[in-house]
Structure 1
Amino acid sequence: MQDISSLIVVAITCLLLGAAIGYFILGRTKPGQQNRAALEKQFNDMQQQQQDYQQQVSSHFDRTGELLNELAESYRSVHNHIVDGAQNLHSSGISPLQAIPEGRPVLDSKPVEAAPVAPPLDYAPKQPGKKGALHEEFGMDSEKKPSDNPEPTPPLV
């Protein structure tokens, strides 16, 4: 009977030891799950940082626009003050300066559309009645054509 109980204890011990070893081996062979969770967390963190950065850029440019409008309004006030002073203090009462109208927005939020631009030409356009740039005689003067009887060159002495 003792042999059977010893055999059962050894079998249970081997079973538990095998399960523990299997658990550790399984944990070592599947690090993808741990890496995946770490990569997902890193991706979410980077996505949040990108959104925060975009928000900072947007608020920065909004504030810059407000400050530029305030600066333009201050400039307009100073300019109009100078115009008023020039009109009141100038001997003839006429000033070459003109007041800038109030209430007009300085910076519009709507972008100005530029006129469409044609791409540059990669050839010289042909003028009416003339040979084009790709013609073999382009740029050659018709008056300076070589004659059939060239004049002989004098011999060197």
Structure 2
Amino acid sequence: MGGTSVQDINTLLAVAIICLLIGTAIGYFIIGRMRPEQQNRAALEKQFNDMQRQQQDYQQQVSHHFDRTGELLNELAESYRSVHNHIVEGAQNLHSTGISPLQAIPEGRPVLDNKPSSLSPAAPPLDYAPRQPGKKGALHEEFGMDSEKKKSDHIEPPVTPHA
């Protein structure tokens, strides 16, 4: 009977080791599925990268659109200039005096320039009356009263009409 019990123990140990390995593999698989933060992080990174790519594509489309719009507006202005100068030339040649009130538009100057303007931005309008140093401001209650006082100092008596 001793041989069967050692064989039973070996079989039991083999089955236990196999069950332990299978249980470990199943546990690792379940734990991997139960960690959604890693999967969520990978999904969020992919979504973020996709959105960044879409944003860059959109910015390129907008830039291309405005570049093309500028080109088309320059072409339109050149066409207008050509028509206007043609009318001016016709008016000068066909007018009886040869003098036309129309003047030609100079060529070669682009209407829209892609370079930023070197002019300083315009200041917004003031919503108050600025005051000069040493003088009363426009909102002061005595503003402008000095000139009226001088006139009132030299009041002449009324003249009675002669009947």
TM tier, smaller: 0.7 to 0.9
Gaps of 5+ in 1: 142-157
Corresponding residue for residue 158 of structure 2: none
Structure 1 distance, partners of 2:129, 2:100, is: 53
* Aligned residues of 2:74 and 2:111 also touching (Cα < 8 A): yes
What one-letter code is carried by the residue in structure 1 that aligns with 2:123? V
Corresponding residue for residue 68 of structure 1: 73
Secondary structure at 2:101 match in 1: coil
Pairing partner for 2:104 from 99, 105, 108 = 99
* Aligned residues of 1:125 and 1:132 also touching (Cα < 8 A): yes
Instruction: Calculate the TM-score normalised by the size of structure 2.
Output: 0.70
Q: Matched residue pairs, number?
A: 138
Structure 1 distance, partners of 2:126, 2:27, is: 72
1:26 has 2:31 as partner: yes
Deviation at 1:120, TM superposition (A): 3.1
* Aligned residues of 2:129 and 2:138 also touching (Cα < 8 A): no
* Aligned residues of 1:126 and 1:133 also touching (Cα < 8 A): no
Deviation at 1:51, TM superposition (A): 0.7
Corresponding residue for residue 52 of structure 2: 47
Gaps of 5+ in 2: 1-5, 146-163
Corresponding residue for residue 15 of structure 1: 20
Secondary structure at 1:69 match in 2: helix
The alpha-carbon distance between structure 1 residues 129 and 106, as it changes in their structure 2 partners (threshold 3 A), is closer
Structure 1 distance, partners of 2:96, 2:9, is: 129
* Aligned residues of 1:83 and 1:97 also touching (Cα < 8 A): yes
The structure whose residues are more often helix, as a share, is 2
Structure 1 distance, partners of 2:129, 2:96, is: 62
Secondary structure at 1:46 match in 2: helix
